[in-house]
């Protein structure tokens, strides 16, 4: 569809009749307030602000609001008045809708004469932050009243953001429909891509934990697209910074987080995200300063702010204040990890009873939302917490892990939840590929691995049992004809591994493009584009796997992915064993295990 220019809210900041004060200083202050307001409001990508060169035209003072709006082509007017009092100056700000002649927002500020210039920046920041929220609320109310067929790209985006704020999987899916409708109206609407990114970012960071890798991959993919269209949107940099942080690419993460702040230091919600990000980067003092700034800009902030404020205080070592602040947030609904941070804070304070109580609160949420009702393996919750909370500074990481251990998150039982290995005695040379209690035991070349079971291991076991024999892919899939029963295109492990590979390629592509290495970039795209297409076809709404018919080609693709992903997991645990399987296993329509030297496997 042909791109339609997307129209954001247009605002004019104009002086009111009471604009000028009695003295030159007050008049200078008043003019400065309006010019700075235009600058600060321009940082919000959803607002187009008319230049003061036009809005300051003296003849506009004689016009009615509706006439000013028609003259300047604006949706809303912010009228600013300056009135001198005995020892202070009062600034009155009124946001009006000229079409309906309604007052949308009004506020007054009293500034002492001696502090006019010094307080100007703070005053402008407060007004712009409060105003941006009220403008978006006003336009959303208008969009809600419009019939669906009359909505434009910007209206679709507003409605999508409204559903996004519900903080539910259903809300995220509904939001994606609105963002996609916005892109049908305007295929170059960067904020619609950002909305799609945020919807998957929500699932990655707050909701659909079992699809964490896939959701993170999609959040990055759409944020990158938004960045390509508009590199000056601060929210895009927030998302990219958070994704790079999770990937432990800390330098890139800091670059995007710093750029997000430079572009808009007045977006209170984004500042809270930046505050936590910089704390993970090892700068908790800056994190605390940004959090305080966010609460000043948004004095009636929602309770979820406290979760991140408490986390920052805890990482600063102020455990009592961190606990007090954290307990003002809804535990386990805003941020599942919060109860774990409260537990470690109590542990460092020596209150083991409270520490264990909040550890148990976290474990209950972990069982409900992460393992989906399954009791976690020993140390699984601890290892998950370490995995999802990456600290750049080794001292911070050590403090965090020691606190978790002190709070009782570590068991003395052997871990079975994630990859680990141990050396076998020199005399033990037998090879094993054995499944026991959902754990795959792999012994080879004096090394023993224990890995969580995935379907690809079952395929490998079948090939090892039929050493040297070619096995048709449909047999490994468990179907015998072109018209077999429907099957799941990709299991959750395969989806996540596919998404992980896409992430790696996307990072490599950005590096190649930054280096102007077109040859390498083209080679990466040749692998990346089919992967994204394959994953998109295999996954339906909400990240659920599609169910497809089972022709040989589908079986070949699915089995190939399962086996390759299984070998990749082995290689991550031990390169020698992984290299043996990469060299010995063949995939395709027919699969086989053909080692250079005979291996006697036990099952």
* SS3 call for 247: coil
Mean pLDDT of 419-447: 64
pLDDT digits (tens, 9 = 90+) for 535-548: 655 554 344 444 44
Question: Higher confidence at residue 482 or residue 505?
Answer: 505
Most confident of 125-139, 192-206, 335-349: 335-349
What length is written for the chain? 603
Q: Which of 336-345, 446-455, 457-466, 521-530 has the lowest mean pLDDT?
A: 521-530
Question: Higher confidence at residue 141 or residue 490?
Answer: 141
Question: Tokens 């200078």 correspond to what residue?
Answer: 28
Most confident of 176-185, 350-359, 492-501: 350-359
Mean pLDDT of 127-148: 62
pLDDT digits (tens, 9 = 90+) for 232-284: 888 889 888 888 888 788 988 999 999 999 888 878 888 999 999 999 999 99
Question: Higher confidence at residue 293 or residue 16?
Answer: 293
pLDDT digits (tens, 9 = 90+) for 36-49: 777 777 777 667 77
Question: Tokens 């190939």 correspond to what residue?
Answer: 560
CA angle 193, 194, 197 (to 5 degrees): 90
B/e letters for 300-323, b = 16+ CB within 10 Å, e = fewer, are ebeebbbbbbbbbbbbeebbebbb
Give the Cα separation of 201 and 198 in Å (integer).
Answer: 5
pLDDT digits (tens, 9 = 90+) for 299-327: 778 888 999 999 999 999 999 999 999 99
pLDDT digits (tens, 9 = 90+) for 63-105: 788 888 888 888 788 888 877 777 777 888 888 888 777 777 7
- The answer, yes or no, to whether residue 341 has pLDDT greater than 80, is yes
Mean pLDDT of 186-192: 86
Hey, what are 490's tokens? Answer: 């990709």
- Which residues in 306-461 belong to E strands, given as ranges? 420-423, 431-436, 439-444, 447-452
Judge residue 500's burial from the number of C-beta atoms within 10 Å of its C-beta, 0-12 exposed, 13-18 middle, 19 or more buried. middle
Q: Which of 15-19, 55-59, 75-79 has the lowest mean pLDDT?
A: 15-19
Give the Cα separation of 181 and 208 in Å (integer).
Answer: 24
Hey, what are 353's tokens? Answer: 């009873």
Centre a 10 Å sphere on the Cβ of residue 245 and count the other Cβ atoms it contains. Answer: 24
Beta bridge partners of 345: none
Mean pLDDT of 96-116: 77
| Best CA proximity match to 311, nearest among 257, 357, 275 | 275
Give the Cα separation of 94 and 76 in Å (integer).
Answer: 10
**Residue 309: which residues within 8 A CB-CB, separation 6 or more?**
272, 275, 291, 295, 325, 326
**Residue 581: which residues within 8 A CB-CB, separation 6 or more?**
460, 567, 570, 571
Judge residue 518's burial from the number of C-beta atoms within 10 Å of its C-beta, 0-12 exposed, 13-18 middle, 19 or more buried. exposed
Average pLDDT score over the chain: 77
Which pLDDT belongs to residue 550? 44
Give the Cα separation of 231 and 326 in Å (integer).
Answer: 34
Give the Cα separation of 388 and 391 in Å (integer).
Answer: 10
- The answer, yes or no, to whether residue 484 has pLDDT greater than 50, is no
* Strand 547-548, strand 585-586: pairing: unpaired
Hey, what are 334's tokens? Answer: 């805003």
Gyration radius (Cα) of the chain, Å: 29
Which pLDDT belongs to residue 282? 94
* Strand 9-15, strand 47-49: pairing: parallel
| Best CA proximity match to 338, nearest among 315, 311, 316 | 311
Give the Cα separation of 83 and 66 in Å (integer).
Answer: 24
């Amino acid at each position: 569809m042909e791109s339609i220019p997307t129209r954001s809210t247009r605002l004019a900041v104009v002086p009111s009749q009471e604009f000028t004060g009695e003295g030159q200083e007050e008049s200078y202050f008043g003019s400065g307030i309006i010019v700075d307001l235009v600058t600060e409001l321009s940082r919000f990508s959803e607002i187009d602000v008319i230049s003061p060169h036009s809005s300051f035209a003296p003849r506009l003072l004689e016009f009615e609001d509706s006439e000013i709006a028609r003259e300047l082509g604006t949706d809303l007017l912010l009228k600013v008045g300056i009135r001198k009092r005995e020892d202070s100056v009062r600034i009155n700000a009124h946001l009006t809708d000229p079409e309906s002649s309604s007052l949308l927002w009004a506020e007054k500020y009293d500034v002492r004469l001696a502090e006019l210039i010094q307080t100007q920046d703070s005053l402008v920041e407060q007004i712009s932050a409060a105003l941006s929220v009220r403008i978006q609320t006003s336009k959303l109310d208008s969009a809600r009243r419009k019939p669906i067929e009359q909505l434009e790209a910007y209206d679709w985006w507003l409605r999508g953001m409204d559903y996004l704020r519900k903080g539910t999987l259903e809300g995220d899916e509904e939001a994606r429909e609105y963002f996609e409708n916005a892109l049908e109206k305007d295929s170059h609407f960067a904020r619609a891509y950002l909305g799609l990114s945020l919807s998957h970012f929500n699932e990655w960071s707050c909701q659909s934990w079992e699809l964490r890798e896939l959701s993170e991959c999609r959040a990055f993919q759409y944020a990158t697209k938004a960045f390509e269209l508009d590199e000056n949107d601060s929210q895009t940099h927030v998302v990219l910074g958070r994704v790079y942080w999770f990937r432990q690419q800390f330098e890139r993460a800091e670059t995007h987080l710093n750029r997000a702040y430079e572009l808009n230091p007045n977006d209170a919600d984004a500042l809270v995200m930046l505050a936590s990000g910089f704390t993970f980067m090892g700068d908790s003092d800056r994190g605390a300063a940004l959090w305080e700034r966010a609460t000043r800009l948004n004095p009636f902030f929602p309770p979820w702010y406290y979760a991140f404020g408490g986390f920052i205080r805890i990482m600063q070592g102020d455990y009592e204040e961190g606990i007090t602040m954290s307990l003002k947030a809804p535990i386990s609904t805003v941020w599942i990890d919060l109860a774990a941070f409260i537990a470690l804070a109590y542990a460092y304070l020596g209150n083991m009873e409270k520490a264990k109580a909040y550890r148990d609160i976290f474990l209950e949420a972990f069982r409900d939302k992460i393992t989906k009702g399954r009791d976690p393996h020993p140390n699984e919750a601890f290892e998950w917490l370490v995995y999802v909370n990456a600290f750049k500074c080794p001292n911070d990481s050590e403090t965090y892990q020691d606190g978790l251990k002190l709070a009782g998150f570590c068991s003395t039982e052997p871990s079975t939840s994630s990859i680990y290995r141990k050396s076998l005695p020199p005399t033990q040379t037998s090879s094993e590929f054995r499944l026991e209690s959902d754990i795959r035991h792999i012994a080879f070349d004096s090394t023993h691995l224990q890995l969580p079971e995935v379907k690809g291991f079952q395929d490998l076991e079948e090939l090892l049992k039929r050493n040297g024999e070619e096995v048709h892919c449909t047999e490994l899939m468990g179907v015998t004809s072109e018209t077999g029963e429907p099957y799941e295109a990709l299991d959750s492990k395969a989806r996540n591994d596919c998404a992980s590979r896409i992430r790696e390629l996307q990072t490599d592509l950005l590096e190649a493009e930054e280096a102007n290495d077109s040859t390498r970039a083209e080679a990466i795209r040749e692998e990346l584009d089919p992967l994204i297409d394959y994953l998109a076809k295999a996954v339906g709404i909400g990240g659920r796997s599609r169910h497809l018919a089972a022709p040989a080609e589908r079986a070949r693709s699915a089995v190939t992915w399962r086996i390759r992903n299984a070998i990749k997991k082995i290689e991550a645990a031990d390169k020698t064993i992984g290299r043996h399987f990469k060299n010995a296993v063949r995939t395709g329509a027919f699969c086989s295990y053909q080692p250079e030297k005979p291996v006697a496997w036990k099952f």
